[in-house]
Structure 1
Amino acid sequence: MNLQQRLEILSQLGEYISSNSPEWQVACQRAEQQNNWFTQAFIKNATDSIADNFLLLTKLRSWADYYHLNDSVIPKTIGIVMAGNIPLVGFHDFLTVFISGHKQVCKLSSKDDVLLKHLVQKMTEWNPETAQYVQFNSMLKNCDAYIATGSDNSARYFEYYFGRYPSIIRKNRTSVALLTGNETEEQLSLLADDVMLYFGLGCRNVTKLYVPANYDFVPLLNALKKYKWMFDHHKYRSNYDYQLAIYLMNNVYYMTNDCIVLVENEQLFSPIGTLHYSYYNSANEVTDELKNHEQVQAVTGTATIPFGYAQQPGLMDYADGVDVMAFLLSL
């Protein structure tokens, strides 16, 4: 497959996702049956974002042109270890390797091994040469380079096994929001999306707020109520109840809207069902503190990524700020 063929088949893939055909619906239902955190609403949100932000032909061509991609690459084999915290979380790595002209062997998480296999199967039906570029395996051996995403603990294993090869190894990250107290009702509604989408499980989900002194939390708590339906999800409700019980037993001050618990805490990472917050005296000091913080994936706010766009990355928004395409082209 030449570059033009790869661009066109990816564009066709975006159209297939957007068509929401019965076949695609069945695959999405299978994904939810395998992992109850993958609700149909959140699968649709994730895949629509991929179709709109990654798979439009004009965007793909602009992306390829930026790197001056052509058909002169000498194909290497890239091993990819994908996470499974939100639907198709490893799609951008798959896409980047495929566009580059390299081959890939993907080790999927057991929590998310339905959707990407289905999409690659469709691509193979449209062009059988796809099978030469994408394979799935539980073991990654004899690869020329590796891209691995996981927890801080699994990263130590990745570094041990893959460290002697060219590699990108990602650890735990999360996202935060910097509020001024002057946010509109619409902005707070969009911030609620950044917090609650995918039950807060993604590295681009906001798990920590920085707010000015004397911040009024009531409008935000009201905005977050748009996700009150998540209380009907037994896993989310169990996590919420567990965290609330801990705060009650330990006499910790908290606020809740019967949807999520807000607790003052310096930690960036918050448990499922909880949102941390801290007060600040100077927004500039917070910005400087977060700049290049190794655990921060994204910062949302009026002066940074707009509210509501934390979970809408573009083709050039590489995880951890590491340019995967430049890495691939350097091999």
Structure 2
Amino acid sequence: MNLQQRIVLLNRLGEYILQDNDNWQAAKQKANFQNSWFTPEFIDLATRNIALAFLQKDKLTGWAQQYNLPTENTAPKNVGIIMAGNIPLVGFHDFLCVFITGHRQTIKPSSKDDVLIKHLVQQLHEWDESTRQLVTFAEMLKGCDAYIATGSNNSARYFDYYFSKYPHIIRRNRTSVALLTGEETPGDLDKLADDVYQYFGLGCRNVTKLYVPEQYDFVALINAFKKYDYLADQHKYKHNYDYMLAVLILNKQFYMSNQSILLAESKELFSPISQLNYEFYNNAAAVKASLTDNADVQCIVGKNHLDFGQAQHPSLTDYADGVDVMKFLREL
């Protein structure tokens, strides 16, 4: 299978995702049943973003040209992929990178997110039998030529040990932050709510901490966030909210809330589900410098940084942890 054939197949997959196909709808429902964090709303958000940002023919062609991908991969390697399962199809980009470069891949999907990726790969198999040699699934990854593994900081230590002899990319916990000036418009704050709440805040691109100027007035922000009050109807999210509220009260810690999120002052970048940390600053330049070199930060949202509302809309070249997967694959 040559590069152009792979691009055509991927573009067809994007069209399939955007269609109201009965089999596809059934797969999305099954994914929601298997993992209640994967609500229909957020499954549709993730899959539509993939179809429109990743699987358009012109974007795939330009991406391939950027890396001078050859028409034929004459020496394909077998790349093992360990996928995370925190948000729907979070490992799709790794699959896409390996597929378009013409390498083979063996995927170990997360038990929390194996329905959607297996369904989409099965579609490729049905459209072109040769893809069965390019994409397979396994419960254990052995005998691969290279590895891409995503997990927690704890699991990353094991990955480093097991895959140390092979070319590899190992990803750890990351999160995102927003740097506010106090001059944000209502529209900015409305979009910031998307960066915070989408996928219940479970993604590495979700904003889990705000940096705000001293004397910042939180009223407009809290009101803007009310658009997501309905998430409190999800029992798992509400359970986390109630638990964190109890912790804050027992610790006699000051907090603010709009009934769907808890704002608490903290120096921690990572916040629990349903809580958003904030920290005051008096020197924006110093904050920017500390965040730019911080290995725990995936995205910085704000003026002169990533636009508000775009944290969960990565492009083909927005690589997790800032590691260029295509470059890694081209050099195998």
SS in 2 for 1:208: strand
SS in 2 for 1:129: helix
Structure 2 Cα separation of the partners of residues 23 and 145 of structure 1: 33
1:292 is displaced (CA, Å) by 2.5
Tell me what 1:21 maps to. 21
Tell me what 1:254 maps to. 255
1:41 aligns with 2:63: no
Off by >6 Å, runs of 4+ in structure 1 = none
Does structure 2 conserve the Cα–Cα contact (< 8 Å) formed by 1:106 and 1:136? yes
Structure 1 Cα separation of the partners of residues 165 and 209 of structure 2: 36
Does structure 1 conserve the Cα–Cα contact (< 8 Å) formed by 2:73 and 2:101? no
SS in 1 for 2:105: strand
Q: Deviations over 1:4-31 (max 9, x none)?
A: 0100000000000011322111100000
1:58 aligns with 2:53: no
Where do 1:53-202 residues align within 5 Å? 53-70=53-70, 71-202=72-203
Does structure 2 conserve the Cα–Cα contact (< 8 Å) formed by 1:73 and 1:102? no
Tell me what 1:240 maps to. 241
SS in 1 for 2:211: strand
Q: Deviations over 1:202-248 (max 9, x none)?
A: 00000000000111101110111111111110000000000000000
Root-mean-square deviation over aligned CA pairs: 0.6
Tell me what 2:315 maps to. 314
Q: Which residue identity lines up with residue 25 of structure 1 in the other structure?
A: Q
TM-score with structure 2 length normalisation? Answer: 0.99
Classify 1:73/1:183 alpha carbon distance in 2 versus 1 (closer, same or farther; 3 Å): farther
Structure 2 Cα separation of the partners of residues 198 and 172 of structure 1: 16
SS in 2 for 1:177: strand
- Identity score, percent: 60
SS in 1 for 2:129: coil
Structure 2 Cα separation of the partners of residues 101 and 92 of structure 1: 14
1:73 is displaced (CA, Å) by 4.0
Structure 2 Cα separation of the partners of residues 276 and 242 of structure 1: 16
User: Structure 2: which 5+ residue stretches go unaligned?
Assistant: none
Structure 1 Cα separation of the partners of residues 110 and 47 of structure 2: 17
SS in 2 for 1:146: strand
Q: Which residue identity lines up with residue 77 of structure 1 in the other structure?
A: N
Q: Deviations over 1:120-171 (max 9, x none)?
A: 0011111111111100001100000000000000001101111111000000
Q: How many residues align?
A: 331
Structure 2 Cα separation of the partners of residues 143 and 255 of structure 1: 50
1:283 is displaced (CA, Å) by 1.1
